[in-house]
Amino acid sequence: AAALEVQQAEARGAAPDATQRQAVEDWDATLREMRPPADEVAKTVEAMRGGFTSAWVHVTEEIVELRTTFFYLVGFLEDIATMMMGVALFALGALQGRWSMRGYAVLMLVGYGIGVSVNAWEAWSIVRSRFDPIAIQSTWYVSYEFGRVPTMLGHVGLVMLLWKGGAWPAAMRRLAAVGRMAFTNYLAQSLLGALLFTGVGFGLYGQLERHELYYVVAAIWILQLAWSPWWLARHHYGPAEWLW
């Protein structure tokens, strides 16, 4: 908003001061990050489709920022808040199946009713703006938590409703096995992603449409739902859990 005000003032002939110039420079940097020029995109694709070393070097700067600046400004408090919601749900008996079927149904309907509505509005606004950076930033800052937190509660209500109702017992056992191997499966997703998208494997980075990425997600889910119970039928822990 500050950058746009400066640009409008300049159009009227006003000279910006140092603070205002900095606001414009900061916003220009954000725009370059969100809409990089074609040559930068080409360099990124080339690096990610290269070998392990080129992909590692390319992502290291972003990883360092996420694990330092972003984590201490946003991630740490977000992680603590999320864990405390889990503690609260446990303390209330929601995660142990102590609620009634009606209670879980209400949690699911209210959670999805709010969360999916907000998420749908976000998606519609962003697509309608043709992925304009201003629209993305303003939408995300205003509604992000209002969309994802209720949706998460809706997921809890749905899963517990299915479990308490005895629906799909085989599927529930597979989900439980995935949960018992959460660390292994978490690492495996990263390894599979590296194999699929970087030059270590198939080098598909930048080649798939958004909707095609969902097929990759579904395939990895199916794979993990299959191998987790198979492994735990033969071992007490997942390999990463055993090593840990």
What pLDDT does 117 receive? 96
Over residues 10-32, the pLDDT tens digits come to 888 888 888 888 988 988 888 88
Cβ atoms of 23 and 6 within 8 Å: the answer is yes
- CA neighbor of 61 nearest in space, from 79, 47, 46, 75: 47
> Is the pLDDT higher at 66 or at 133?
66
Reported as a pLDDT band with limits 50, 70 and 90, residue 131 is confident
How many angstroms separate the Cα of 45 from the Cα of each of 40, 191, 199, 209? 9, 19, 10, 14
- CA neighbor of 188 nearest in space, from 235, 230, 238: 238
Reported as a pLDDT band with limits 50, 70 and 90, residue 95 is very high
d(CA 33, CA 16): 24
> Is pLDDT at 127 greater than 80 in this prediction?
yes
